[in-house]
Every structure is written in structure tokens, then in C-alpha cells.
């Protein structure tokens, strides 16, 4: 079955006015309207890159002409391919896809026949709070085991990196299962891979406990580099599809951790 992992470095993209107008013509009006609601230009740019990346995937990997692609959102805000619908056969499982954008990167993960979710975060301290204050605000998002792992890191920068590593893992899982904002993040507890996370490595030994029980139906990939601080991909270990007409329903954005 097919598997795709794409990333685009938005920080190095400096479109001219004419290039931006052309990009805007390549997405649907409602997508353009949503992008226009961002306060900061860099956020609008990363959101645009994410939508273009998604359409590039649908066009190139699913073989659908760009002009025929129609993306809609469910009542919970999950984008899905509304037209044309994916028609699957016994040997051609449907694609599941998901995008995320934050900081310098827009990323896409896609898989055939299994659910997939992706989340990317840059290690920065939101707002002007100190690291201890930021952690205090976010206390309810992690279990005691996870906080122990986060706060055992040697420096505040390493603690922030561990924090975002856990956060992207949780977000990628929630986006893969498509539950949206109503999911209690403490239900999913992560036990990090014992491997050293270094530039260019992909870690796949992360384990998840769901409702305090080991859960082995999901595979987690963690990637990090000096700019793209942490990227996590969650995909179901075994195929979970039957031949039918389907539309992949996956969210591309949730509320980011920020001071309240």
C-alpha cells in the first residue's frame, strides 16, 4: 500500500504579489476566505502552502485533475474530498490524508487503506510566559508519567522539545481517529522511543497507552530537525477498509497550545 510524507518549508517561500494571487486562484473561495482570516502574514502563507500541498497530493498521487478537485469540511471542520469520490476496488484501497502547518513548515501525510494523522510544531515559548508558567497552564493536557518525562530533561529548551514531542504525538493520534476537540488528551499516554532523536532520524518505537491500557493498533513516527522542531505521524497498523465508495475525513488543524 502507498505511503506519502511531504513537507514544504514555508519560511523560505517569498511569493510576489502576482504569485500570491495565482496561488489564491488555485484554491476554492471558502479556503481563500479562511486563509484571509489569519492575522499574521506568515500564518496565512503556511495555511496557503498546506492547501496547495494537499491539492498537489490529490492531483499527482490520486490521479485527479486539479480542476476537478473539490474539498469540503464536515460540521466538525474536517476537510474531505467531496468530488470526485474515491471509487475503490478489492486491490485499490482508498487514500487517507492529513495536513498540518505551523512555524516554518507545512506537512502532509497520506496512507492507503489505513487512517493517518500528522502534526508539526516548532519549539518556541508561546507568549511571554516562563517555561514553568507555560507548563502550569498546560498541566491538564498530559498524564503524570508524561510530565515526569518532560520535566526530567536537563534544560528548559530540552523540556520544551519534550513537551512538543508529546503534544504532536497526541495531536497526530486525535487527527487520525477524527474525534476533534472533544477528546480528553489524558486518555492517550505516550512512552517515548528509547532511541536518540537526532537530525535525519525517524523514530518508530514510541508506545501509546489508551485509557491506561497498552494500544498496539497504531504506529507513530517522530522526526526532528533544528528548524522543524518536531513532526509526528500516526497511522493505523493494519488495514481497516472494505471495497466501497469513500471520502477520507481528517482534520488539518486544531487549537495550538498557547497561554490562556
Cα separation, 235 vs 215, whole angstroms: 13
Q: Percent of the chain at pLDDT above 90?
A: 55
10-14, 206-210, 248-252 — which is least confidently predicted? 248-252
Q: Note the pLDDT tens digit of each residue in 181-195.
A: 778 999 999 999 887
Sheet-wide strand order for 3-9: 3-9, 105-112, 95-102
- pLDDT reading at 172 higher than 90: yes
The reported pLDDT for the residue numbered 254 is 40
Q: Which CATH class is domain 1-260?
A: alpha beta
| Residues 165-193, mean pLDDT to the nearest whole number | 90
pTM for the complete prediction?
Answer: 0.86
Q: Percent of the chain at pLDDT above 70?
A: 83
The reported pLDDT for the residue numbered 1 is 67
**123 pLDDT tier (thresholds 50, 70, 90):** confident
Which residues neighbour 139 within 8 Å (Cβ) at sequence distance 6 or greater?
147
80-94, 146-160, 235-249: which has the highest mean pLDDT? 146-160
The reported pLDDT for the residue numbered 248 is 33
Query: Residue 173: is it exposed, middle or buried by C-beta count within 10 angstroms (0-12/13-18/19+)?
Result: buried
Q: Note the pLDDT tens digit of each residue in 32-83.
A: 999 999 999 999 999 999 999 999 999 999 999 999 999 887 666 666 788 7
What phi and psi values does residue 199 have, to the nearest 5 degrees?
-55, 125
- Selection from 235, 255, 234, 224 nearest residue 160 by Cα: 224
The reported pLDDT for the residue numbered 170 is 95
What are the angstrom distances between the C-alpha of 151 and each of 4, 65, 148, 160?
34, 49, 5, 9
**252 pLDDT tier (thresholds 50, 70, 90):** very low
Domain coordinates in residue numbering, the chain: 1-260
- Is there a cis peptide before residue 84, judged by omega within 30 degrees of 0? yes
What are the angstrom distances between the C-alpha of 152 and each of 43, 156, 158, 161, 181?
32, 10, 9, 12, 29
- pLDDT reading at 134 higher than 50: yes
- pLDDT reading at 222 higher than 80: yes
Amino acid at each position: 500500500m502507498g505511503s506519502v510524507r511531504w513537507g514544504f518549508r514555508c519560511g523560505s517561500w517569498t511569493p510576489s504579489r502576482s504569485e500570491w494571487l495565482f496561488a489564491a486562484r488555485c484554491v476554492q473561495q471558502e479556503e481563500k476566505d479562511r486563509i484571509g482570516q489569519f492575522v499574521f502574514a506568515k500564518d496565512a502563507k503556511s495555511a496557503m502552502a498546506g492547501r496547495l500541498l494537499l491539492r498537489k497530493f490529490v492531483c499527482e498521487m490520486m490521479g485527479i485533475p486539479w480542476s476537478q478537485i473539490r474539498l469540503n469540511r464536515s460540521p466538525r471542520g474536517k476537510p474531505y474530498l467531496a468530488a470526485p469520490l474515491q471509487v475503490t476496488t478489492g486491490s485499490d484501497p482508498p487514500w487517507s490524508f492529513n495536513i498540518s502547518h505551523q512555524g516554518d513548515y507545512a506537512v502532509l501525510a497520506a496512507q492507503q487503506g489505513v487512517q493517518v494523522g500528522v502534526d508539526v510544531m516548532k519549539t518556541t515559548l508561546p507568549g511571554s510566559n516562563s517555561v514553568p508558567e507555560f507548563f502550569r497552564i498546560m498541566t491538564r493536557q498530559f498524564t503524570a508519567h508524561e510530565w515526569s518525562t518532560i520535566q526530567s530533561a536537563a534544560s528548559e529548551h530540552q523540556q520544551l522539545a519534550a513537551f512538543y514531542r508529546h503534544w504532536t504525538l497526541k495531536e497526530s493520534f486525535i487527527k487520525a481517529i477524527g474525534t476533534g476537540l472533544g477528546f480528553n488528551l489524558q486518555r492517550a499516554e505516550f512512552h517515548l522511543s528509547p532511541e536518540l532523536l537526532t537530525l535525519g532520524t525517524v523514530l518508530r518505537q514510541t508506545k501509546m497507552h489508551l485509557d491506561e491500557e497498552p494500544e498496539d493498533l497504531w504506529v507513530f513516527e517522530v522526526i526532528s530537525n533544528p528548524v522543524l522542531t518536531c513532526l509526528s505521524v500516526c497511522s493505523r497498523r493494519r488495514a481497516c477498509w472494505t471495497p466501497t465508495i469513500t471520502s477520507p475525513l481528517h482534520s488539518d488543524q486544531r487549537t495550538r497550545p498557547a497561554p490562556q
